[in-house]
Structure 1
Amino acid sequence: MRLRSLCEFVGLAVLAVVMVGCASDVEASGSDRSIAVMDVHGRVRLPLEITAGTQASVLVFVTTDCPIANAYAPEISAIARAYEQRGFEFFVVHVDPDVSADDARRHAGEYELDPGFVILDPQHDLVRALGITITPEVAVVLSDGTIAYRGRIDDQWADLGKKRRAARKQDLRAALDAILAGRSVGETRTRAIGCSIPILSER
C-alpha cells in the first residue's frame, strides 16, 4: 500500500510539473499572428501582425449591448487618442456573432468610437487566441506575440453593480507606459468586470 501511495504521489507530482510546463508554453507562445478578421468597411485586418515601428496592438473586446463596455467608450477613445501617435495600434473588437458590420458602425457612431478601429470577431478566433472571457476586456500584444497585458481598462468597476466615482488604478495606461519606457509590465493580468462573451451557436 505504501509503495502504491508513493507511486500515486510521484505520478501526480509529475503530472503537475507537466501541466505547469504546458501552461507556461501556452503563455509564452502568445497569439496567432495570422488571424484575419474583417473591419466595418469590409477590409481584411490582421490585428496580431505587428508591423515595424508599432509598439503593440491594443485590442478592446466589446458587445453592443453591454452597459459596462458602453460606459467605457469615452475612456477607450481617450486612451486611443493619447497612445496611437506613440506607436500603438488600437482595435475595438465586436465579439457578438449576430452583430453585422452595419450594426458595429452604428454603435461606433452612437458611442463616438473611431470606426477605423472597429473589427468583427464573429467566430471568436481572437477571443480564443487571447483568452478573452469578458467585455470589456483588453489584450496588449507585442511584436513577438507575447500578451503583455490582459484584463480591465481600469478599476472603476470593483464588481458588477459596484462602480467607484473614479478609477484608482489606470491599468491599461500603466501597461502602455511601461512598454514605452522599455520596462516589463508590472501587473500583466487583472480581472475584468463586465458581460460574458456570447456563446457561439452550432451552425
Structure 2
Amino acid sequence: MAVTTPACAEDWTAPEFSLPGIDGRTWSLADVRGERGTLVAFICNHCPYVVAIIDRLVRDAALLRAEGVEVVAVNANDPLQYPEDSFDNMKLFARAHGLDFPYLFDGSQDVARAYGAVCTPDFFGLDRDGRLRYRGRLDESGRLPAGPGVRRELLDAMRLVASTGRGPDNQIPGMGCSIKWREA
C-alpha cells in the first residue's frame, strides 16, 4: 500500500541507534554523522518505489558525501513476511546497485518506530547537530524514469542544509510502500 511521509518536524532530533550493517560492522548514528549533515534513508530491497529510485539515490549520495553529508540506509521490513528483504538479500541488493554507504538492518524495528518512519523510501535529512531539516521526496519523477531536467529535491535540500543549517521552506512529501511491520 502506498503511503506518504508526514511533514518535516524541524524541532525533532534524531534518536541514536546501534544496528548491524551488511559489512559485518555495528553502526551508530554517531558513526555515520557527517561534518555538514546526515541523510538517514529507510529503504528495502523489494519495494517498487525504492527499486525505481535506488540508482538515483546512490548517485546523489556520492555527491553529498563528497560535500560532507554522510548517508546511511536502514531496512526495517519484516523478513519473515517479505523474505526478499532478508539480511542476506540486503547484501545482494547493495552489490547489484553499488551502495557505497552503510546499509543497516533494523530487525527489532525499534529504530524505524523511534524515527516515525512510515514507508520505503522515507528520507530524514539531518543538520550537523542531528536535527531534522528535510523530510521529502528524492525528486519529482517518483517511480518514473528521471528526465535530464528533473529537479533533484533531496540533493538540493541537503546541500541547503549543509550550507545554512536550514531545510527548504517547501518540502513535498515522499511516497512509498508502507513499512512491513512484524505481526504482534
TM-score, structure 2 normalization: 0.80
Structure 1: 5+ residue runs without aligned partners? 1-25
Correspondence 1:192 to 2:178 = no
* Aligned twin of 2:156: 174
Map 1:21-32 onto structure 2 (within 5 A): 28-32=11-15
Aligned residue pairs, count: 170
Counterpart amino acid of residue 172 in structure 2:
T
**Which residue of the other structure, out of 45, 48, 51, is the alignment partner of 1:64?**
45
> Per-residue deviation at 1:66?
0.6
Seen in structure 2, the aligned counterparts of structure 1 residues 97 and 188 have a Cα distance that, compared at 3 Å, is farther
Bigger shift: residues 55-64 or 177-186: 177-186
Counterpart amino acid of residue 27 in structure 2:
R
**Which residue of the other structure, out of 89, 96, 105, is the alignment partner of 1:110?**
96
* Aligned twin of 1:15: none
SS in 2 for 1:181: helix
Q: Tell me if structure 1 keeps the 8 A contact 2:18–2:29.
A: yes
Cα RMSD for the two superposed structures: 2.4
**Which residue of the other structure, out of 81, 86, 107, is the alignment partner of 1:122?**
107
* Aligned twin of 2:6: none
TM-score, structure 1 normalization: 0.73
Return the structure number with greater relative CO, CA threshold 8 A, min gap 6.
Answer: 2
User: Which is richer in helix?
Assistant: 1
Counterpart amino acid of residue 15 in structure 2:
D
Seen in structure 2, the aligned counterparts of structure 1 residues 63 and 189 have a Cα distance that, compared at 3 Å, is same
> Per-residue deviation at 1:90?
0.8
* Aligned twin of 1:84: 65
CA distance in 2, matches of 1:186, 1:27: 11
Counterpart amino acid of residue 117 in structure 1:
P
Counterpart amino acid of residue 70 in structure 1:
V
* Aligned twin of 2:122: 137
> Per-residue deviation at 1:57?
1.4
> Per-residue deviation at 1:126?
2.7
